[in-house]
């Protein structure tokens, strides 16, 4: 992926090519630069972004939250083609500021093809030496065991660390998803690590409150996250 700064006021980046797990470092530099802004809108023009994977989605969510923490608003402009479709599938339009989205295309599913909008798990982002942030997006239900197992498989790397799960991109979670989060917490505690949940929205926030999860896990609302 290539990133260029096309304007300084307002700060505007242009992203092109493929945004994948390989672009963590370049994207982190943008996040740091955005933190230097104050109460501003920061724009990312992604009209020439051809491809994005789940890691890339996680990076956008991390960037949006980082911007919000420093009082800024990240505005993502002109997603196209498969990038736009992926944004819709992950329902990012409900949690990110997106402008100039192209009209939805006719569904491309073949007859008989299942269409399920499941869980997205971002790769970990190191916030500092002791804190790791992972973003969840989409829908987290009893059917999402494959993604859950992928997440669990990485836990061994977080011994004695603080693991933050960002939930702002999570649109829906059922009690099975909640159970899986408690299993993650148990596994992390076994490793001397801790787990906290950040920025739950809407129905996910409702579930956490109904199940009184804040009594057994730190749940940090969006305003404080």
Q: With CB under 8 A as the contact rule, which of the stretches 16-24, 65-73, 91-99, 136-144 interacts with another protein?
A: 136-144
Please, which of residues 14-43 interact with another protein by CB under 8 A?
Answer: none
Q: Please list, in sequence order, all residues whose beta carbon lies within 8 angstroms of the beta carbon of residue 97, skipping any fewer than 6 positions away.
A: 64, 73, 74, 75, 76
CA distance 222 to 199: 4
CA distance 213 to 129: 27
Q: Does residue 206 touch another protein according to CB under 8 A?
A: yes
CB of 38 or CB of 212, closer to another protein:
212
Q: Does residue 3 touch another protein according to CB under 8 A?
A: no
Per-residue binding string, another protein, 103-132, x by CB under 8 A, is ----x-x-xxxxxxx---------------
- Which alpha helices (H) appear in the chain, and where do they start and end? 24-35, 54-69, 81-89, 145-153, 175-190, 202-210
Q: Does residue 51 touch another protein according to CB under 8 A?
A: no
CA distance 134 to 139: 15
Q: Does residue 159 touch another protein according to CB under 8 A?
A: no
Cβ burial, residue 71 (10 Å; 0-12/13-18/19+): exposed
The contact set with another protein (CB under 8 A) reads: 107, 109, 111-117, 139, 141-143, 145, 149, 152, 172, 174-176, 178-180, 182-183, 186-187, 202-203, 206-207, 210-213, 215-216
């Amino acid at each position: 992926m290539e990133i260029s700064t096309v304007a300084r006021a307002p700060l505007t980046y242009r992203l092109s090519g493929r945004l994948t797990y390989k672009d963590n470092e370049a994207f982190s530099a943008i996040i740091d630069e955005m933190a230097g802004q104050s109460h501003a809108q920061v724009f990312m023009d992604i009209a020439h972004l051809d491809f994005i994977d789940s890691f890339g989605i996680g990076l956008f969510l991390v960037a949006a939250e980082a911007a919000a923490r420093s009082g800024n608003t990240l505005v993502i402009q002109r997603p196209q083609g498969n990038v736009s479709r992926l944004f819709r599938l992950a329902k990012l339009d409900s949690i990110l500021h997106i402008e100039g989205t192209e009209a939805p295309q006719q569904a491309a599913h073949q007859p008989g093809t299942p269409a399920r909008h499941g869980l997205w798990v971002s790769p970990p982002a190191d916030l500092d030496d002791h804190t790791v942030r992972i973003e969840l997006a989409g829908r987290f239900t009893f059917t999402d065991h494959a993604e859950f197992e992928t997440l669990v498989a990485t836990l061994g790397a977080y011994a004695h660390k603080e693991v933050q799960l960002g939930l702002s991109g999570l649109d829906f979670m059922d009690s099975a998803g909640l159970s899986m989060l408690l299993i993650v917490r148990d596994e992390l505690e076994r490793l001397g690590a801790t787990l906290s949940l950040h920025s739950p929205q809407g129905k996910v926030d409702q579930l956490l409150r109904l199940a009184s999860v804040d009594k057994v896990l730190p749940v940090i609302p969006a305003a404080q996250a």
